[in-house]
Amino acid sequence: MTKNVGVLFVCLGNICRSPTADGIFRHLVKAAQLGDQIRTDSCGTINTHAGESPDSRTQAHAKEHGYDLSMLRGRQFKKSDFEEFNYILCMDYENLANIKALEPLESEAILQLFGEYCDHDGTPLAVPDPYYGGPDGFANVLQMVETGCRRLLAKVREDHGL
Ligand code: 4NP
């Protein structure tokens, strides 16, 4: 069976926030036995970390919670991603603005802030960039992303009858 639903997570560098979301979402998809239907990837708006493994702090926090990110490699967003993915989830408002600026008029991809699926009181929150901060930032990313990925998977399942 082809993996007919594509979900792409986007951040700036593709070594902290979006690989965390990619790894957690993959884990949830596998647990729901939907690995044959849903494909997941992540990327950055910049190419600085293309080909790199996720940041060691990101990997350590994820591992503590049972998520293995070691197989993931960084890449930059490309325009063809608009055709390849049904959902494009951006980690912050700057990522969203940068991707929106590349969006072809005919794109049918759902382009959103990932924070739509996190806890919020009306205005979706950005997932804060943890790269230049301490361990709390990484723990916060993990918590926000876990919540958001659960809700996102429920939405994808509902949208596609899975
Ligand atoms: P990410 O974090 O966007 O969550 O992967 C960052 C990683 C690298 C840089 C900035 C943010 N950087 O400037 O290299």
pLDDT digits (tens, 9 = 90+) for 49-107: 999 999 999 999 999 999 999 999 999 999 999 999 999 999 999 999 999 999 999 99
Determine if residue 40 is left, alpha or beta; phi over 0 gives left, psi from -120 to 50 gives alpha, anything else beta: beta
Q: Kindly report the number of other CB atoms within 10 A of residue 119's CB atom.
A: 12
| Residue 15 pLDDT grade (very low, low, confident, very high; cuts 50, 70, 90) | very high
CATH number at residue 129: 3.40.50.2300
Is 11 tagged catalytic?
A: yes
The total domain count for the chain is: 1
On the 0-12 / 13-18 / 19+ scale of CB atoms within 10 A, 59 is buried
Is 129 an annotated catalytic residue? yes
Residue range of the domain that includes 64: 5-160
Atom of ligand 1 nearest to the CA of 11: 3
Is the CB of residue 41 below 6 angstroms from any atom belonging to ligand 1? Answer: no
Rounded Cα distance, 162 and 151, in Å: 14
Active site residue 55: no
> Among 160, 128, 162, which residue's Cα sits nearest to residue 145?
128
14 lines ligand 1 (CB under 6 A): yes
Q: Whose CA is nearest to atom 10 of ligand 1?
A: 13
The mean of the pLDDT values for the chain is: 96
